[in-house]
Structure 1
Amino acid sequence: MSRLLTRRGFLGGSVAGAGTLLLGGCDRLTQSDSVQRVLRMAESVTMGTQRALLSGGALAREFDEADLSPIFKSNGTSLPEWEDYARMMATNFTDWRLSIDGLVRQPLSLSLDELKRLPSRTQITRHDCVEGWSAIGKWTGVPLGLLLQTAGLAANARYAVFHCADALERTLDGSGRYYESLDLTDAFHPQTLLAYGMNGADLPVAHGAPLRLRVERQLGYKHAKYLMRIEVVDSFARIGLGNGGFWEDRGYEWYAGI
């Protein structure tokens, strides 16, 4: 997501599965308890409807090589302003590691090479941004469910939280670090990938190198880039402002199903 839609009371809501409702410049509305209640109800309806229609692991549409977009816009952060990230980028991410911890029986710490040696999936899908544009790209990566299964989930595990290297703005806790979350239904969906490849090459820095999330049945802001850590939790109430993601803390809906 770009800063174009920050701080201006952007409000994402879905009404009876009809899609995303964009309300720009509505600061007073976003602060209204009644509006927030309506949006939460609409989000629940959208989530319930999509889960019912797409039960059994139904897939998002996949495309052919000929359908790849000649230009795939990079939005949000294109280069994290973090010294540790710059150091890792300088070594082609050879010293980068992904941590998986929290409510797991066996915490994991994996290098990029180790991830690339695991079973992979390649898919050509359409990326839909809440700003109104779409693009088709080819993604290769490790199914998230495989890693969570390897780590072993505790009985009270409910969400996977993705902690990232980029910071879009300073937040109340002083970090501004990007984060997102999925429930386990979407985390174990076969098209939910930790992608290290794009269009047949290594994932570019502007698109989230060395690793980004692909969750093909949700809008683009859920596809967290520059992944550093996956934390398995029973609640995200204590993370950020407690709404499950950087943009969700700023008024976006948590379940961004399409």
Structure 2
Amino acid sequence: MRLSRRRLIGSLAAAPLLTACDRLTYSEGFREGLRAAEGLTMRAQRLVMDRGALAREFGAADISPVFRSNGTRRPGSQSYADHSARGFADWRLAVDGLVARPLSLSMAQIRGLPARTQITRHDCVEGWSAIGRWTGVPLRLLLEGAGVSTRARYIVFHCADDYGPVRYYESIDMVDALHPQTILAWALNGAPLPIENGAPLRLRVERQLGYKHAKYVERIEAVAGLAAIGGGRGGYWEDSNDYEWYAGI
């Protein structure tokens, strides 16, 4: 295809800009600037919004016919395969870290705790969304039961799905941890949580994007800071792909 003089000049003029943008992407100083802006965004949102404000809840007629799976669809370890074959009867959730009474709960015990059901929309960073009915135990009840310390500023979720040499991990601060819609879900649309959607337990933190909703949760850890968690930014995608730690919507 023959280029016009105007298009050729425009292409040549744009090339240095694209190269500069590419260099910025790999510049640690530029990324640090973006991270600082992320902190400002979070503080601004928290300033103007009620910390207890609820994400929108929908009616049964709004539930998506298929709730799409994303990320890991089935952890590959033999341990997880054994648990799934037994219907997760022996799965245990640990709650530890900065707590007075570390917990180790079976799925039967978790299902026996007071539950919350909510119909909410899941918004993925990839641009798709789906609405589902989630049932699970409010995270606040687990933290209160364990006697979480006032020194704890973050809650870290350790998961069973492997990403290369590491297992998936994610974190939220205490504002979101204690929010009434933050639950550990064990059911989706009135049935046990499917494996591809995170069985037997997944986090639902309804005011954040989907990558924060950790699946296959096996341990909850209360910590004072995130520096010792993974690469120090509080989550697998945050450390490996420079995702924002705060994904509030």
TM over 0.5: yes
CA distance in 2 between counterparts of 1:52 and 1:143 reads 24
Q: In the alignment, does 2:181 pair up with 1:202?
A: no
- Displacement of 1:28: 4.1
Within 5 A, what are the aligned runs for 1:77-96?
A: 77-96=72-91
Q: In the alignment, does 2:236 pair up with 1:246?
A: yes
Within 5 A, what are the aligned runs for 1:4-23?
A: none
CA distance in 2 between counterparts of 1:44 and 1:232 reads 21
Query: Is this contact kept in 2: 1:127–1:220, CA < 8 A?
Result: yes
Code of the residue aligned with 2:81 in structure 1: it is: A
Query: Is this contact kept in 1: 2:95–2:220, CA < 8 A?
Result: yes
Q: In the alignment, does 2:228 pair up with 1:233?
A: no
Task: Report which of the two structures shows the higher radius of gyration computed on alpha carbons.
Answer: 2
CA distance in 1 between counterparts of 2:90 and 2:132 reads 27
State the partner residue of 1:121: 116
- Displacement of 1:79: 0.5
Among candidates 121, 127, 132, match of residue 137 of structure 1: 132
Code of the residue aligned with 1:35 in structure 2: it is: F
CA distance in 2 between counterparts of 1:27 and 1:200 reads 47
Counterpart of 2:236 in 1: which secondary structure? coil
Query: Is this contact kept in 1: 2:51–2:175, CA < 8 A?
Result: no
Query: Is this contact kept in 1: 2:134–2:188, CA < 8 A?
Result: yes
Q: In the alignment, does 2:22 pair up with 1:31?
A: no
Query: Is this contact kept in 1: 2:64–2:131, CA < 8 A?
Result: yes
Code of the residue aligned with 1:176 in structure 2: it is: V
Query: Is this contact kept in 2: 1:60–1:216, CA < 8 A?
Result: yes
Code of the residue aligned with 1:221 in structure 2: it is: Y
* 141-150 vs 54-63, greater mean Cα deviation: 54-63
Query: Is this contact kept in 2: 1:191–1:216, CA < 8 A?
Result: yes
Counterpart of 2:149 in 1: which secondary structure? coil
Query: Is this contact kept in 2: 1:99–1:110, CA < 8 A?
Result: yes
State the partner residue of 1:17: none
State the partner residue of 1:13: none
- Displacement of 1:91: 0.4
User: Which structure shows the higher helix fraction?
Assistant: 2
Deviations 1:13-72 (A, max 9, x none): xxxxxxxxxxxxx76434312321321122112211221232240000000000001121
State the partner residue of 1:53: 48
Unaligned runs of 5+ in 2: 1-20
CA distance in 2 between counterparts of 1:180 and 1:196 reads 18
State the partner residue of 2:170: 180
Counterpart of 2:220 in 1: which secondary structure? strand
Aligned-residue identity in percent: 64
CA distance in 1 between counterparts of 2:86 and 2:198 reads 16
Deviations 1:145-182 (A, max 9, x none): 111011011231111100000012x2xxxx32100001
Among candidates 159, 180, 188, match of residue 190 of structure 1: 180
State the partner residue of 2:156: 161
Number of residue pairs the alignment of both structures matches:
228
CA distance in 2 between counterparts of 1:46 and 1:75 reads 26
Query: Is this contact kept in 2: 1:88–1:96, CA < 8 A?
Result: yes
- Structure 1 residues 220 and 27: alpha-carbon distance in aligned structure 2, compared to 1, 3 A threshold: farther
Code of the residue aligned with 1:80 in structure 2: it is: P
Query: Is this contact kept in 2: 1:46–1:257, CA < 8 A?
Result: no
Unaligned runs of 5+ in 1: 1-25
CA distance in 2 between counterparts of 1:155 and 1:196 reads 28
RMSD of aligned alpha carbons = 1.2
